[in-house]
Amino acid sequence: MRQMVMSATYRQSSDASEEKRRIDPENRLLSRAPSFRLSAEMLRDGFLAASGLLDRQIGGPSVNPYEVTESFKPKNHDSGTGLYRRSVYTYWKRTGPPPAMMTLDASKRDVCRLRRERTSSPLQSFVLMNGPQFVEAARFLALNAITHCEGDGKDADSSSVIDHLFETLAQRKPSESEVDVVRKLFDAQMVRFEQDPASAEALLNVGVSKVKSNIPATRWAAWTVVASALMNFDHSVMRR
């Protein structure tokens, strides 16, 4: 095992030049590390963990997260920790499986699947950008990032919040130009929410988890938009 993981082949980057891709399109020659979109469960569990909402209890009965209300056979979602447990505990009805997980290529569990397809579709954008599970996670991820960077009680410097979000989601520091792009997004959203504070409140009301905070709603909402954008960034959804 040690020999394997220390080999040059295993430690390759998943980045590949066009020439490499042309010569070895399916990576049969192991010319690079594999890269693929994370599974439905990994995405949901990962974002819940990043937001601090994940319930880490092991075992117990199935739970009903938000998406069961949208199933082909709808039922009510839970109101407590059932919303935040790992996806392996999600209630499964084979005639109407959880629709967000279906959109993200989870198996229906009606027949044996040797491997899951990994697709990319616009419907996945809807789930990750608009689904209450993920919007709520973005909300808490933003809150944690601001709180983390406000050790001295001052308004957090935006670049340190961006650093924190990048490190949490993409496991790396952002480049300068990346910070610029994200900061511009944050500034624009701040302006917008200050003009329309009601929509900031509305965004912060998505999901059932409420928490009291001294952070102004406009700032929290603007960072929520940033967090949501970064949750959809390639490095957050792909294994590279």
Count CB atoms within 10 A of the CB of residue 80. Answer: 10
CB of 208 to another protein, least distance (A): 14
CA–CA distance, 59 with 135 (Å, rounded to integer): 26
Record the tokens describing residue 10, joined without a space: 């295993």
Question: Is the separation of the CB atoms in 95 and 73 below 8 Å?
Answer: yes
Which of 130, 171, 195, 213 binds another protein (CB under 8 A)? It is 130
Q: Does the footprint of another protein cover residue 100 (CB under 8 A)? A: yes
Distance CA 200, CA 196 (A): 7
Binding range to another protein, per CB under 8 A, among 45-53, 79-87, 125-133, 142-150: 125-133
Q: What is the x/- site pattern for another protein, positions 163-182, by CB under 8 A? A: ------------x-xx--xx
Q: Measured from the CB atom, is 138 or 149 closer to another protein?
A: 138
158 binding another protein? (CB under 8 A): no
Tell me how far apart the alpha carbons of residues 82 and 90 are, in angstroms, rounded to a whole number: 9
- By CB under 8 A, the residues from 183 to 202 that bind another protein are 184-185, 188-189, 192, 199-202
Angstrom distance (rounded) from CA 237 to CA 229: 11
119 touches another protein (CB under 8 A): yes
